[in-house]
């Protein structure tokens, strides 16, 4: 049997599906402005964790090509560029790392566990990224929310990080489950 | 006469202006409220007078409401008027930074990126992600209404969320995406090959330069005053 290439070309169908997935991720993330100024470590990730793991997991489960999560990050980031350019860069980088980890372990998206891992890792990685970013550029007289992100209380940071990971794992699990169910019913074809 | 509206600004310049207003607004809000107020007021007036008036009117009231809410919370938590104003100004800066983005037509952004030889897969995805957001909002609303009609109960219940909301939503997404992909391919769109005819090119206009210059004047003026 011919061995499949790791990096395959995306088709129009793949791009359209990933774009639609990105759009729905954006729509369901409308809660973000309400929590953006809350001075609690990782509160944004907690609020967005489910949406940012369930839909990318579904996207990867259908497309199953390396680069799928990066596409979702870029497509959903186009709206973020106008509001929070740092978050756009952060999500794109997190998507690259999440995919790299998943591909390094599973050597492709053939297994459902690889899709789960990519979906579950995507958003939690933004926590250390934003922490290091603001630490590197200095927070100066920034808002309370940024200060909470850079100098969190250790217990709060640990508990919130665990909550983010748990929510994202749940989201990715639900995404994989939905995809399996729809594939079984014939609605989700490759 | 063509009825097609143009974007209020050259798309890439619009993005650059948004990023600049956001960063400058956030930095000055943290350092000097007066400087930030002058800058944001100046930028808002520039936007109002240079063709962004619709987006300005749509954005300003919600931005002021959110700014007032968070400013009030900060003030009531005993951190003083200056801190409350600083928090409020941050939200207004975010609101004003979004204005150029709202005035750019997704199709113009796509044409602009196509002219810059950005891969077509990316421009197509961006175009879809931007154009389909309202449609998906309507789809989500329809699914919620169907849930209400069926008397399924609260969406906070995970079982209900999964069975009555997520499954129908993903089914709709798959159907929409299949139809759209077919439609795009039927119109001859491919991801391969470099030769593409761009019938309507988006070029920078004198007005775009004027907008950029006026924003720069606002920033310098706010710093000097």
Query: Among candidates A24, A95, A25, which has minimal Cα distance to A66?
Result: A95
Model ipTM? Answer: 0.82
User: Which of A53, A82, A186, A188 has the most B C-beta neighbours within 10 Å, making it the best mutation to test the interface with B?
Assistant: A82
Residue boundaries of the structural domains of chain B: 11-105+205-224, 120-186
Three-class SS of chain A: CCCCCCCCCCCHHHHHHHHHHHHHHHHCCCCHHHHCCCCCCCHHHHHHCCHHHHHHHHHHHHHCCCCHHHHHHHHHHHHHHHHCHHHHHHHHHHHHHHHHHHHHHHCCCCCHHHHHHHHHHHCCCHHHHHHHHHHHHCCCCCCHHHHHHHCCCHHHHHHHHHHHHHHHHHHHHHHHHHHHHHHHHCCCCC
Identify whether the C-beta of residue A41 lies closer than 8 Å to the C-beta of residue A151: no
Distance CA B121, CA A10 (A): 8
- Chain B residues touching A81 at Cβ < 8 A: 15, 18-19, 101
Higher pLDDT, B78 or A127: A127
Query: Lowest-confidence range among A23-37, B30-44, B119-133?
Result: A23-37
CB contact under 8 A, B15 and A82: yes
* Chain A CB contacts of B98 below 8 Å: 82-83
Which of B31, B52, B129 to substitute to test the interface with A, most A CBs within 10 Å?
A: B129
Contacts of B190 (CB under 8 A, 6+ apart): A12
Q: Do B100 and A27 touch (CB under 8 A)?
A: no
- Structure confidence at residue B3 (pLDDT): 43
- pLDDT per residue of chain A (190 residues) written in tens, 0 to 9: 556 676 788 888 999 999 999 988 888 887 777 777 677 788 888 888 998 999 999 999 999 899 999 999 988 887 777 677 778 888 899 999 999 999 999 988 889 999 999 999 999 998 888 878 777 765 555 566 666 666 677 888 888 889 999 999 999 999 999 999 998 888 877 6
In terms of Cα–Cα distance, which of B166, B34, B101 is closest to A179?
B166
Please name the member of A15, A81, A174 whose beta carbon is closest to the beta carbon of B166.
A174
The phi and psi torsions of A95 (rounded to 5 degrees) equal -65, -40
Q: Token pair for residue A8?
A: 């395959």
| Residue with the two structure tokens 């729809």 | A182
- The predicted model gives B150-159 an average pLDDT of 80
Query: Are B174 and A187 a contacting pair at CB < 8 A?
Result: yes
Instruction: Provide mean pLDDT across the span B32-51.
Output: 88
Residues 4-33 of B with CB under 8 A from A: 15, 18-19, 22-23, 30-31
Residue closest to A179 by CA, chosen among A54, A13, A10, A68? A54
Count of CB pairs separated by less than 8 Å, A with B: 141
Cβ–Cβ under 8 Å, residues B59 and B96 = yes
What structural domains does chain A harbor? 12-184 (1.10.1760)
Distances (CA, A) of A78 to B56, B98, B126, B145: 20, 12, 7, 30
Is B125 part of the contact surface with chain A (CB cutoff 8 Å)?
Answer: yes
Give per-residue pLDDT as tens, A122-165: 999 988 888 787 777 655 555 666 666 666 778 888 888 899 99
Q: Which one of A15, A37, A82 has the shortest CB-CB distance to B125?
A: A15
Three-state SS string across chain B, please? CCCCCCCCCCHHHHHHHHHHHHHHHHHHHHHCHHHHHHHHHHHHHHHHHCCCHHHHHHHHHHHHHHHHHHHHHHHHCCCHHHHHHHHHHHHHHHHHHHHHHHCCCHHHHHHHHHHCCCCHHHHHHHHHHHHCHHHHHHHHHHHHHHHHHHCCCCCCCHHHHHHHHHHHHHHHHHHHHHHHHHHHHHCCCCCCCCCCCCCCCCCCCHHHHHHHHHHHHHHHHHHHC
- The alpha carbon of residue B206 is apart from the nearest alpha carbon of chain A, in Å, by 23
Query: Which of B11, B125, B168 has the highest number of chain A CBs within 10 A, making it the mutation to test binding with A?
Result: B125
Residue B88 structure tokens: 């409020």
Residue B161 has pLDDT above 90, yes or no: no
**Res B33: pLDDT:** 83
Tell me whether B45 touches chain A (CB under 8 Å).
no
A7 closest CA partner among A64, A70, A57: A64
Q: Is B167 on the interface with A (CB under 8 A)?
A: yes
Q: What is the mean pLDDT of residues B2-10?
A: 61
Asked whether residue B199 carries a pLDDT value surpassing 80, the answer given is: no
CB contact under 8 A, B121 and A71: yes
The pLDDT, as a whole number, for residue A113 is 93
Kindly report the nearest CA distance between residue A106 and chain B, in angstroms. Answer: 26
Least confident residue range of B7-11, B127-131, B137-141: B7-11
Chain-chain contact of A20 with B136 (C-beta, under 8 angstroms): yes
Q: How far apart are CA B169 and CA B45, in angstroms?
A: 42
Contact A16 B170 (CB under 8 A): no
Average of per-residue pLDDT across B40-58: 88
A-chain residue closest to B161, CA distance: A174
A23, A24, A37 member nearest B70 (Cβ): A37
Distance from CA of A14 to the nearest CA of B (A): 8
Give buried/exposed letters for B7-40 (b at 16+ CB in 10 A, else e): bbbbbbbbbebbbbbbebbbbbbbebbebbbbbb
**Nearest by Cα to A112 from A152, A66, A64:** A64
Query: HSE (CB half, 13 Å, CA atoms) of B211?
Result: 27
Residue A95 CA neighbour count, 13 Å, CB half: 25
pLDDT of B4: 47
pLDDT at residue A143, rounded to an integer: 60
């Amino acid at each position: 049997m011919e061995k499949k290439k790791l990096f395959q070309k995306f088709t129009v169908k793949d791009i359209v599906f990933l774009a639609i997935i990105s759009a729905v991720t954006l729509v369901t993330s409308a809660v973000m402005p309400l929590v953006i100024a809350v001075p609690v470590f990782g509160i944004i990730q907690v609020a967005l964790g489910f949406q940012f793991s369930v839909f990318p997991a579904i996207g990867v489960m259908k497309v199953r090509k390396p680069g799928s999560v990066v596409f979702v990050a870029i497509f959903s980031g186009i709206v973020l560029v106008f509001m929070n350019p740092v978050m756009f860069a952060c999500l794109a980088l997190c998507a690259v790392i999440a995919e790299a980890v998943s591909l390094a372990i599973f050597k492709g998206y053939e297994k459902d566990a690889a899709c789960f891992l990519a979906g579950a890792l995507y958003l939690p990685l933004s926590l250390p990224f934003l922490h290091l970013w603001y630490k590197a550029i200095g927070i100066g007289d920034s808002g309370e929310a940024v200060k909470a992100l850079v100098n969190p209380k250790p217990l709060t940071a640990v508990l919130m990080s665990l909550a983010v990971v748990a929510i994202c794992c749940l989201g990715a699990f639900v995404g994989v489950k939905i995809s399996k169910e729809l594939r079984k019913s014939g609605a989700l074809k490759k | 006469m063509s009825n097609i509206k143009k974007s209020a600004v050259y798309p890439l310049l619009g993005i650059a202006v948004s990023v600049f207003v956001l960063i400058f607004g956030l930095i000055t809000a943290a350092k000097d409220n007066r400087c930030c107020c002058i800058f944001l007021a100046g930028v808002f007036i520039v936007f109002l007078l240079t063709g962004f008036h619709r987006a300005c009117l749509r954005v300003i009231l919600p931005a002021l409401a959110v700014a007032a809410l968070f400013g009030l919370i900060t003030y009531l938590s005993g951190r003083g008027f200056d801190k409350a104003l600083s928090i409020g100004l941050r939200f207004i800066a975010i609101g004003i930074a979004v204005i150029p983005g709202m005035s750019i037509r997704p199709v113009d952004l796509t044409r602009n990126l196509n002219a810059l030889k950005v891969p077509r897969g990316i421009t197509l995805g961006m175009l879809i992600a931007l154009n389909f957001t309202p449609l998906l909002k309507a789809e989500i609303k329809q699914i919620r209404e169907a849930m209400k009609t069926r008397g399924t109960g609260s969406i906070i219940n995970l079982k209900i969320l999964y069975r009555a909301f997520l499954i129908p939503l993903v089914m709709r997404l798959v159907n929409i995406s299949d139809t759209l992909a077919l439609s795009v391919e039927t119109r001859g769109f491919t991801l391969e090959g470099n030769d593409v005819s761009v019938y309507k090119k988006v070029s920078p206009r004198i007005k775009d330069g004027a907008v950029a210059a006026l924003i720069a004047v606002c920033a310098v003026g706010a710093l000097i005053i």
